[in-house]
Amino acid sequence: MTVSPGFDNTPLSNDPITPFYGKKPEVVDRAQGAFYQKVWAAAAESEPMWVFITTWNEWQENTSIEPSQLYGNTYLDLTRLAIQRWKNP
């Protein structure tokens, strides 16, 4: 099972060498953590043997869960709580 905090592939500039240049941006809003909690709940409900967190330290795509100035420790805290709920229903 896979979970993600959100996603945004909006190009960072109008330079043709920029990744995703000329493409319609895809955005999955984090909704202040609500999206992440929702996908974790769905994952746990399916009773998976493992959960893969889709995050690649790509700050421009807004998939990171590590501490940041914008989110603080929010996503690490949400991850800890989600794992506790998954492992101890």
> What are 79-89's pLDDT values in tens digits?
999 999 999 98
- Per residue in 6-18, pLDDT (tens digit) is 998 887 778 888 7
User: What tens digit of pLDDT does each residue of 19-69 get?
Assistant: 777 888 889 999 999 999 999 999 999 999 999 998 876 677 889 999 999
Q: Is the Cβ–Cβ distance between 30 and 36 less than 8 Å? A: yes
Q: What is the pLDDT of residue 12?
A: 75
Residue 31 is part of which domain span? 2-87
How many folded domains does the chain comprise?
A: 1
Burial class from Cβ neighbours inside 10 Å (0-12, 13-18, 19+) for residue 45 reads exposed
Measured from the Cβ of residue 70, the count of other Cβ atoms closer than 10 Å reads 10
